[in-house]
Amino acid sequence: MEKEMGAKKDKRLVREALTRSLSMVYPSVEAFEKELLSGRRLSFYFGIDPTSSHLHLGHAAGLWTLRRFQDLGHKAILLIGDFTARVGDPTDKMAPRQPLTPKQIKENWKTFKKQVSRILNFSGENAAQVRYNSEWFGKMKFEDFFKSLLGAFSVQNLLERADFKKRLEEHKSIELREFIYPLLQGWDGRELGVNVEIGGRDQIFNMNVGRAFRDQVWKDNFFVAVKLLVDSNTGKKLSKTEASLVNLDDSPGEMFGRVMAMPDGMISGVAELSTSMPLDEIRKLKEFDNPRDAKLALAFEVVKTYCSEKNAEKARKDWKKIFSERDVNNADIPYLEVGKLPLLDVVLKTGVVKSKSEARRLIAQGGVHVEGAALKDPHMAPSFSGGETIRVGKRHFFRAKVK
C-alpha cells in the first residue's frame, strides 16, 4: 500500500464524498469514514470495459466519485478492462453478452483517456493512472488461473448472483465464460494493490468477490457502490440506444439537446451523479415550476462541466433559437456532408440512429425532414445544393454540405 503521501482529513469534503452519489459502502460507512479521516492515503480504482467507443453520463457517476477521493489526496486508477471485454460482463443481462475481438476493443478504448480527462486529473502531484487488465491476464498461466481464481469460490457462491438465479428460474442458460467474469473482475483489484473498488450498484456481487480476493493478502479493504442513473418516475436506466443518452465526447450542441430530450425523472439524478454541480444548486432544480426550465439549467451545467462555460452559453442560445424562436436558419447547427446519397445513408451518417432498421423505421414514420418537408422513401437521393436544413427525429438538426 502507498503511504508516502498523506491524504486530506477535511471533514466536510469527506462527508460529501461519503454521501453524494453513494448507494452502499462495504463493510460499513463508519469504518470507511474512520479510515478516510486517519490521513492515510488509500488507493481507489474504477473499471470500464471498452464495449463502445463512447463513455456516457452513466460512467461519469463512478468517475466523479473517484475524482472526489482523488481531490482528497488518494490514489486514483482508471482500469480499462481490455481483457474482460473479451469475456463480457453478464450484469443485468438475461442473455449472454457478445464478446468483442481484440481489434474492436483497441479501437474502442483509443479515446477513453481524453474523454475521462474531462473528469479525472491526469497531471500534477496526484495524477490519476490508467491501467489495463491484459497486463496480468495476458500473462497468467493456466495453472495459476485454476489455482488462484477457480479454486477460491464454489459454484454455490457464484449462483448467489441475482441475475444468474433469475436465469436458472426461467430455464435460461449461463455460459461458463460469464460464470467466471466476477472472478476476473475481482482479481483486478488484487493485481492493482488497491484498498477500494468503485462500481455501480449493479456490481455489488462482483465487488464482493474482489474484496474477498484482496482480504487474502491485506486488510482494510472496502468497496463503494454508486447509485445508478435512472429515471425516478419509471426506475429504468437510460439505454445506450436512447437519443437522450449523453456521451462525454458529444459536441456541445448535441450534449445540450440530449439533456433537453431526457425524461423529467432524470433531472436530479444527472445533476447529482454526473456533474460537479454544488448540492445546494441541485436542490434548487426541484423548485422550478416547469421541468423544462430545470432541464435548461441542467443542460447548461452539463455542457459547462464537460466542455466550457463559453460552449454552454452558445449551446443554450442555439437551442433557444431552434426550439423557442423556431429560427433554425440563424442557429449554429452542425454541417453534414451529404453528396448524392440515398436518404437511408444520409440518416445513418448523422449518427442519430445506430442501425439501418432504425433509420428505415424513422423515415417511414415521417421523422426525417429536409427544408420542412417529410421524406418517406429511404431509397431516394435528395437533391442538395448546400445549406438545406435536415431534421432527424424531433431534436436533431443539420446543415447540408455539398463538396
389 φ, ψ (degrees, to nearest 5): -90, 130
Q: Answer yes or no: is pLDDT of 95 > 80.
A: no
DSSP code per residue over 262-310:
S-GGGHHHHHHHHS---HHHHHHHTT-SSHHHHHHHHHHHHHHHHT-HH
User: Rounded CA gap, 82 and 59, in Å?
Assistant: 16
* Closest to 129 in 3D by CA, of 2, 302, 307, 29: 2
Q: Answer yes or no: is pLDDT of 96 > 60.
A: no
User: Mean pLDDT, the chain, as a whole number?
Assistant: 88
| Residue-level pLDDT at 1 | 42
pLDDT digit string, tens, across residues 295-336:
999 999 999 999 999 999 999 999 888 877 677 777 777 888
Q: Answer yes or no: is pLDDT of 338 > 60.
A: yes
Percent of the chain surpassing pLDDT 90: 54
- Asked if 267 contacts 295 with a C-beta cutoff of 8 angstroms, the reply is yes
Q: Answer yes or no: is pLDDT of 387 > 90.
A: no
Sign of the four-CA dihedral 386, 388, 393, 394: positive
pLDDT digit string, tens, across residues 167-210:
888 888 887 777 888 999 999 999 999 999 999 998 999 999 99
| Residue-level pLDDT at 94 | 47
User: Rounded CA gap, 394 and 403, in Å?
Assistant: 27
| Residue-level pLDDT at 44 | 98
| Residue-level pLDDT at 120 | 97
Q: Answer yes or no: is pLDDT of 93 > 60.
A: no
Q: Answer yes or no: is pLDDT of 162 > 60.
A: yes
Q: Answer yes or no: is pLDDT of 231 > 80.
A: yes
Model confidence band, residue 3 (pLDDT cutoffs 50, 70, 90): very low
| Residue-level pLDDT at 208 | 92
Q: Answer yes or no: is pLDDT of 243 > 60.
A: no
Q: Answer yes or no: is pLDDT of 402 > 90.
A: no
Domains of the chain: 11-226 (3.40.50.620), 229-331 (1.10.240.10), 335-401 (3.10.290.10)
* pLDDT (average), residues 364-369: 91
| Residue-level pLDDT at 97 | 60
* pLDDT (average), residues 252-275: 91
Q: pTM for the whole thing?
A: 0.82
